[in-house]
Structure formats: structure tokens, C-alpha cells
Amino acid sequence: MSSSSTAGPFRDLFTVFKSGELSRRQFVERATALGMSAGLALHISATTATAQEATPGLSGAGAVAPSVNTENQERGAGGELRILQWQAPSHLSAHEATGDKDGLGASLVSEPLMFRGPDAELIPVLITQVPTVENGQLAEDFTSVAFTLKEGVLWSDGEPFTAADVVFTLDWIRDDANNAVSSGLYETIDTYEATDDYTVTIAYTQPNPTWSDGFTGAGASVIYPRHIMEGGGQEANDAFKSTPIGTGPYKVEDFTVNDQVIYVMNENYREPNKPFFERVLVKGGGDAASAARAVIQTGEYDYGWNIAIEPEIASSFESDDSPGVLLVNPDVSIERININFSDPRAEVDGQRAEMNTPHPIFSDLAVRHAMNLGIDRQLIADSFFFGGDQEPPVVNIISGIEAMESPNNEVAYDPEAAGQILDEAGWVTDGDVRKKDGVELSIDFMTTVSQLRQKIQAVVKDNLEEIGFKVELKQVDGGVFFDSAEGNDQNNTHFYNDLNMFTSAVGAPPPVAYMIRWYA
């Protein structure tokens, strides 16, 4: 179908959002009312661009599900929604997803107990109300919580959703054999049980102010079906990756790994007039530039995910008669370079980058200090991003939370000082690559295949080689880089490189779940 007949209401909503008539909250509410999953709507509102400035968030909103008078909406009336997600999903198991591409692929099918709204407020999804101290479901000292599940919710195969599914999901995550990347969110849980068919109680080993993290959001917080997966071992896990059963608005009709997913309506979805779209196509392939062109210029697709290209290129696709629009909405995502503190080349019991093998170069604070001064972040921000106040260069990854925000946020580019630091630390040069105690200042730098990221890599390489490094640039397809498979030695989680680069964002305040990705 043409874009005008497939997702007209959704595109109209985009246009109104772009004009500044809608806040981010209103956009999310109306997108979900059209049948889009809340997770995808939140992601779109955060990562798709508005030519407007960021709309200040509203405060004091109640923890209730969005409602925008959709009583007369007809299920499936929107036809087909075509999404170009150029990094296509590799699987659809959210608790094994190490990147947005897989988590988003799962979000149309699998649901959590709660979502966070645009202003970080908790919204009930599979529960009747958000636990609070006032309603008696959350302990005053945050040592326990009780969830009351909605009754009448069905899995897409018609089986009832109950507290047994929540308990099973916690069992599954805590089983090391399943390699759940989300397991760190649940480490402080002491006990959990289903006290009846629709109540789950959880006790923590210590006060846990981030109790909601493991049950909130479309990624690594969703609930799995006990009746499908219990006792099935790896065979059941593998089957779920391609044909998940969920409580969400859609189910999978066809899935081709790293290519496309076709979703159709879940006839057992609990809201009879939703979803609005009859089918959803998530198509992979190409790159960010081709995705922007296919939405803005040709209208072949209704939405292009992760348009990570220079603003000038993206805006060049737009004209008065173009079928698509470019939306920019600043969020808290950060494109960052990660430094490996372990040696990616030393092997211990079959593992590389093992935490007890210090990196031969980056263990030296002087090297890291020199890198900090030797990379021109301002050039990168101004050349490849919006720069200015919209996408400024930073040296910290947490901002906006006073208790956790470092005052040491000055961005400085001083290659002369960087070289002096290396000299004083014993990294000497004869005009070529620096060395210290026989170790050459030679590193590799991995990221995904992306025009934008390759340009950033080139700047970083030039900057570091100017102060005496030798840098080898490496790229791999996003489907490989964000694939959490145990045998994948090129993914970001194994980190078998010296440096890698990708985007991530704080998902909730306080950002404990975000910070457990690091150790010192």
C-alpha cells in the first residue's frame, strides 16, 4: 500500500508533533491510542527528530494508562504500518537482547508489568495499579513489593496470564543456563512467590529504591509464558526467539533473521478496539541514510528508525511536497566510546577480556587522560550531530540527576598537553608509534557499519595517531555487533576489542540499572 493509505493517521500525528502543537507526552498517548505499543511510541518520541525545541515535560501526572477517547476506533482500521529498521532484529527474546534492534522487535509482542511515561512516571500495563507506599503494595523501606495483576489477560495463544508466569520469568532469568542479559536487575531479590493467581510478592535482601527497574519497560523487563517455555530447555528458548508468545497487541506471522518481521494482530489482545494497524512490517537492510530517504523522500515506508546521519543530509531529503517529515526530539542518549579495562587478547579458561587480566595499555591512567584530551569531541558534535545545546559533547554519561552528576564535565581538546602526559608517563616516541617497556601504543576500535560512525572513527583515529597511537579501525554489521549469542566473538557484550562505540541511554531514574554495566 502507499504511505497515504497505510498509516495516514500516524503520519498526521507526526506532522502535528513536529509543529509543536503536541508535547512528547501527548504524542506518546496518541500513538498508543492508534495501536502502537507504548515501548515503540516512547522510543520514537525520544529518537526521532523535531525541528522544534524540546517541549518541557509535565509534572504531577497520575500513574494511569494513557487514554485519548478511542472508544469509536476500530481494530485493524489502519491497514499496514511499514517500519524501516535498518538494523533488523536478530531474535525476538527481550531478556537476551543486547541492543534496541532486538528489544524493539520483541516489544510488539512481549509486555512488562509497567512502562515509564515521557516524564519517567510509572504506568501500569499488566497490573491494576502501580505499587506505592500509600496503597500498601510497597514497603516504606523498599524491602518488598506486591503486584496485583489484571484479570482476563490472555497470551496470544489463548492461555490465561497469571502470577505463575511472573514467577516463572524470574526463575528463567535467574537460571544461568539461559544467559539472560537482564539478570543484574534482579540480583537484590531474596524471595518471590505467587500468593494467588493474580498476586506476586517480592522481598529484597536490602532496601531497593530501584525495585521497579526489573518490571518496567519494553526491553529486558517483559514477562515470559510459563506454559510455553517451562521445562523446554534450550530448544524452547530458541523457538521463542523466532516465534514468541506474548500478551501484546501483535503476534509474529513471519520472521527472517536479520531481514524482516511481519506482525499481525493478536486476536486475544485485551483491548477490543486495538491495535489500530492490521499488520506491521519491520524491514531491515540498508543504512540510516537510505532509511531517511525511503521515508521522507519516497514515502515507501511510514517510519525510519535510528536516522543517525548528519542533520544536513537528513534535512536535504525534505521538501514542501515530500511525503515524509523529519522529527528531532532531544533525549538522554549518548554516543560513547567504551574503553576495555581487561586484556581482549589474553585467554583465561577459554575467555578473553576476563576481568582479572588488566589491559596492557588502558590500565595506565595517563593513557586514558591523554585520550580524553586528544579527541576533538567538539568537532565531532558540530560536524556529525546537531551540536550546540541540542547534542553537545560531554565527558560524563549521567546528567540531570544532581546526586550522580559530576561537576568535572569540561570538554577540552589539547593534543599538546596529551602528548606531554604520555611523555611524562614513559610512553616515548621516535616520531612514530609510542612505546613503553616494550609495549606499543597500538589499539583497535570497533563499531557498527554506519556512515556516521565510520566518520567518527576516522576523526578519532586521526586525533589519536597525532599524539602517538596506532589505531586499527574495525566495523561489523549491527546484526552481529548487538547479537548476544555466546559464540559470537564480535559482539559488544564480549568486548574482544580495545575500544568500541555505540549509543545507550539512561532508562529510569535513578540509573542503577544503567550503571551496573560498569565496574571499577
At 41, give phi and psi (nearest 5°). Answer: -65, -40
First to last CA, the chain: 53
Q: What pLDDT, on a 0 to 100 scale, did the predictor assign at position 130? A: 97
Model pLDDT for residues 455-485, shown as the tens digit of each residue:
999 999 999 999 999 999 999 988 788 877 7
Q: What pLDDT, on a 0 to 100 scale, did the predictor assign at position 351? A: 81
Task: Report which of 239, 241, 248, 252 is spatially closest to residue 268, judged by C-alpha positions.
Answer: 248
The domain segmentation of the chain, as residue ranges, is 3-316, 333-515
* Architecture of the structural domain at 333-515: Roll (3.10)
Q: What pLDDT, on a 0 to 100 scale, did the predictor assign at position 11? A: 54
Q: What stretches in the chain show pLDDT beneath 70?
A: 1-70, 329-331, 399-401, 513, 516-520
pTM as predicted: 0.76
| Joined grid coordinates for residue 159 | 492461555
Percent of the chain as helix, strand, coil, to the nearest 5: 30, 20, 50
Q: What are the distances in angstroms from CA 106 to CA 127, 178, 243, 255? A: 20, 17, 10, 11
147: which strand partners?
200
The answer to whether 283 and 82 have CB atoms below 8 angstroms apart is: yes
CATH T-level topology, domain 3-316: D-Maltodextrin-Binding Protein; domain 2 (3.40.190)
Q: What pLDDT, on a 0 to 100 scale, did the predictor assign at position 173? A: 95
Task: Report which of 512, 516, 515 is spatially closest to residue 397, judged by C-alpha positions.
Answer: 515
Matching fold, domains 3-316 and 333-515: no
The answer to whether 82 and 6 have CB atoms below 8 angstroms apart is: yes
